[in-house]
Amino acid sequence: MLSKFKLSTAATMVAASLALSACDTNPSSENKSSVQKTYTVQDVNNFIAETEKELVRLNNEGAKVEWIYQNFITEDSADLSAAAAQEYTEAGVRFALQAAKFDDIEVSDAQRRKLNILKQALVLPAPQDSAKSAELAKIAAELGGMYGKGSYTNAEGEKQSLGDLSAIMASSRDYNELLDAWQGWRTISPKMKPLYEREVELANEGAQGLGYSDLGAMWRSNYDMSSDEFAQELDRLWGQVKPLYDALHCHVRAELGEHYGEDKVPQDQAIPAHLLGNMWAQSWGNVYDLVGPEDADPGYDVTEQLAKHEYTEIDMVKGAEKFFTSLGFEQLPDTFWERSLFTKPADRDVVCHASAWNLDSQDDIRIKMCIQKNGEDFSTIHHELGHNFYQRAYKDQPVYFQNSANDGFHEAIGDTIALSVTPSYLKEIGLIDNVPDESKDIGLLMKMALEKIAFIPFGLMVDQWRWKVFNGEITPENYNDAWWQLREKYQGVQAPIARAETDFDPGSKYHVPGNVPYSRYFLAHILQFEFHKSLCEIAGNEESIHRCSIYNNKAAGAKLNQVLEMGSSQPWQNAHKVLTGSEQMDATAILDYFAPLQAWLDQKNQGRQCGF
């Protein structure tokens, strides 16, 4: 996940309460006057120049504050984080309101883009009231702290962290043990509900002050298309992928029913959420042993190979860095290795959720992870470094454009690289001795689908829920019920036990209390396959698309870097066209990638009851 700090990363926080820019330095006199001030192009130029200086300072100061908070969670650091949040949101709202005053001024395309970015940058806009702004900042920090310090004490008196509980979810095949872990983590979130309800009220007020109907409409406006068009685009892309997901769901449900019994996994209902190997049932790779094809073992397990070759956490990061340098990118700076957090400290609370940071808008790039030596984290590290290499690629852009073409691009880049972590690549770096023949591809594709395809509807429904919360369609008394209705609709997944109105299961997912928009992850899962296919074509790949690795291909690296260096200086459609040849996203690259698996699933599902 990308750090949420800096305007350039759709930040919610940072910096100081500011005077209005040079083009409007005496607002009190204007308020007293009945004459509407007439703005000029020079006013716009002055505003953009002055604001750019402030943004660089605010971004960098705020990023440092938040880095300290997430690495040292205390009441003092929480207060500092809350203060930074209030200061930044107040500044951000002021910038946005001022930018809106120039809507009718004829300016260059670059200037208009900068003004629009200022209007849309805040994820959590504060009301134009200092008391409410302070309240919103305090709530945001408190929710983040609740999540970061969350734990569950089981019946034996053992205190279990999210990492402990997630390990149980991944490895246990005991129905009741899984249920206890699933329930346990959800004990952290009911107390979040009243805070979240108030946060929604305040953030909606802030969004309305900027001219949006609600916060969801504001979030959706950040994609170089209208809010409604963006929602329709997500539905279109989901429609392309849904047949493959439905086939995967049917197979997984049948196999889980065989293992646990159809009394526990009814074949005409949604799958109980605690049986899919992940705390949120968002990816299903951990149940591969129950649902994978017979005789499809490729002969290796990345987790086992990492242990066999005595990889440390740092070795894992070095390996991911080598992939990027093989494409022609420069090595990570020494400060990355000196300042990143790679393992969970034993002596303090930290936010372990993996994230990538740039603390100075230039070269102070870092990751923050509590790395576990397994195949999943090996892939996650590639994802996080993708953010870091993207951040460094666009560092010479103005601060306004120090971002990805859209936030889905940022999430997709590292995953695009991870798609090249194929058996041939693993052999090349010495992790395995032999490349399995194509008869083993169904197993590898199944593992990939359990991670990637299983995630796509979850990636869609999180913001579907929030958009309905923000526009009032979902009310606080229906928060939890609506959450599970959407999960059943999109994922075919249900709560394993009855849930109460007082529960707040959305709060058990980091991105909800952390106020991180989630559509970016849905888009990333579409884009990464598009990007992979295009880069493989550039690299001259002649194998099946799922067997392609662009490792060591400088031509593919150069084309990728061309897109990264653009930052957000142009509409995302332009960046997309540079890499794919088209301005429209297209999920059929996913279908091409998984075509052999789709045929296998269709055969296996004959005679089964599918649907949910």
Record the tokens describing residue 418, joined without a space. Answer: 């991870």
Catalytic residue among 249, 251, 274, 511: 511
- CA dihedral sign of residues 572, 576, 582, 587: negative
The token duo for 485 is 């209705």
Reported as half-sphere exposure (CB side, CA atoms, 13 A), residue 212 has a value of: 31
Q: Specify which residues 341 forms β-bridges with.
A: 368
Contacts of 357 (CB under 8 A, 6+ apart): 3, 5, 63, 67, 365, 366, 367, 368
Q: Is 568 helix (H, G, I), strand (E, B) or coil?
A: coil
384 assigned to active site: yes
Can you give the length of the chain in residues?
612
Beta bridge partners of 271: 493
Q: Which DSSP letter does residue 17 get? A: -
* 30 is annotated as an active-site residue: no
Would you give the distance in Å from CA 489 to the centre of its chain? 22
- Please, which residues have CB within 8 angstroms of residue 275's CB and are 6 or more apart in sequence? 175, 178, 256, 260, 264, 265, 287, 496
Query: If DSSP states are collapsed to H, E and C, what string results for 74-100?
Result: CHHHHHHHHHHHHHHHHHHHHHHHHHH
Buried b (16+ CB within 10 A) or exposed e, 332-341: bbeebeebbb
Q: Give the Cα separation of 422 and 549 in Å (integer).
A: 6
Q: Report whether 412 contacts 1 (CB < 8 A).
A: no
Rounded to the nearest angstrom, the gap between the alpha carbon of residue 225 and the centroid of all alpha carbons in its chain is: 21
Cα gap 224→117, rounded to integer Å: 10
Select from 344, 315, 321 the least CA-distant residue to 333. Answer: 321
User: Helix (H) and strand (E) counts for the chain?
Assistant: 24, 6
Distance, CA of 398 to CA of 494 (rounded, Å): 46
Catalytic annotation, pick one of 66, 135, 321, 384: 384
- Where residue 277 falls (left for φ over 0; alpha for ψ -120 to 50; beta otherwise) is left
| Type and span of the H or E element at 336 | helix 334-339
Rounded CA gap, 587 and 278, in Å?
25
Tokens of 152: 């569950």
What positions carry a catalytic annotation? 384, 511
